[in-house]
Amino acid sequence: MRGACTHSFCSPEISRAPGPLPLGDGDADGDGIPDALEDELAARFAPIVLLHRDDAHRPASIPWLLARANVFERRDQDTAVAAVADFAITGKPRIPEPVRSGSSNPQDWVAYTHVYPRSDGGTNIQYWFFYPFNDGPLLFDHDVDWEHLTVRLDASGAPTGVDFARHEDDHPGVFRPWHAVRREGDHPIALSARGTHATGGSRDDLAWFEQAADCPELERCDHPVWRTWLGGGLENIGERSAPLRHHEALLFERRWGNIGIVPGTSAPHGPLFHRGFCVDGFSSCLEADGAARTARAAIRP
């Protein structure tokens, strides 16, 4: 039986209760939850994301990006200075202008899922949304955008609420109890802010400078309505120690694009190294960029 977390990516001041042991069969990511159950839960609570009709940067997927841009080229240094030097030499950003718009075809929009057990017996379901570019206010743009939300289930499997991630409040995000979450059946409805793609349960969750669609009736909405289980569908990415797909991309420990000098202008890390990627409740979220690099030894062979 496992005791307190001793891995390098865990918060040292937190001692956690033992988690479930990996199952013998049907548990490829070794988190103690059958993979089939993970997929079932992810589909049941998959969110509906309302995109803004005037957002020039649509969602996409990891394969869609890899077919158009190489963001995983390794450099000797992961610093802003190296990024500036790289830009000066190549004369172009890592994400080319035509790729920044994402895909106009909803079949290319994939929501990546991460289902994991909490130490209190409950389960969390994370949904990660990929956009090739973040178009922020003023100069606060950056390559690639990974946004997410988390559905919390109690020990009986009943939903208790949703954490909507936005900007710095993304590990886990702004919590809304289930009764206060706008839904279609068991599917939470989330707003994706124009350009920044910050995720909110309502416009009140977003920053003052952000715009978002807010359609009272989805069937009459004149903004794109992304039912994440349709189109490109859902893909389970597994755990840090055992990713289930896209290994080259998901195990890439550096940023997915150029690094900016000004805070808020650097490309993010991928989901497995993102500070919003959580395990065992929320106690093991990566809390800083440095922690992501420290975690490499724990997950790489």
Q: At 56, which amino acid appears?
A: A
Q: What is the largest CA-CA distance in the chain?
A: 56
| Torsion angle, alpha carbons of 274, 275, 280, 284, to 10 | 130
Show the low-confidence residues of the chain (pLDDT under 50). 1-17, 75-92, 287-301
Q: What is the pLDDT of residue 15?
A: 37
Q: Which of 134, 148, 139, 167 is nearest to 267 (CA)?
A: 134
> What is each CA distance from 22 to 32, 108, 114, 229, in whole angstroms?
4, 33, 16, 27
pLDDT at 76: 45
Task: Please answer whether residues 236 and 216 qualify as being in contact, where contact means their C-beta atoms are separated by less than 8 angstroms.
Answer: no
Which residue bears the tokens 């994400």? Answer: 95
In whole angstroms, give the CA distance from residue 155 to residue 201.
24
Return the closest-CA partner of residue 122 out of 162, 173, 156, 163: 156
pLDDT digits (tens, 9 = 90+) for 199-247: 999 988 887 888 899 898 999 999 999 999 999 999 999 998 899 999 9
Shortest CA distance to 140 belongs to which of 198, 192, 202, 91? 198
Local structure of residue 11 (DSSP, 8 states)? -
Task: Tell which residue, 186, 236, 280, 183, has the closest CA to residue 37.
Answer: 236
Q: What is the pLDDT of residue 19?
A: 57
Cβ neighbors of 107 (< 8 A, separation 6 or more) are: 231, 232
CB atoms near residue 168 (< 10 Å): 9
Q: How far is CA 74 from CA 186, 248, 275, in A?
A: 42, 12, 21
Calpha distance 32→21 (Å, rounded):
5
Q: Output DSSP code: residue 124.
A: E
CA dihedral 57, 62, 67, 72 (to 10 degrees): 100
46-75 pLDDT, tens digit each? 999 999 999 999 999 999 999 998 777 654
What tokens does 214 get? Answer: 């807010």
Tokens of 97: 């202008």
pLDDT of the residue at 301: 35
> CB under 8 Å to 292, separation ≥6 — which residues?
253, 269, 273, 274, 275, 286
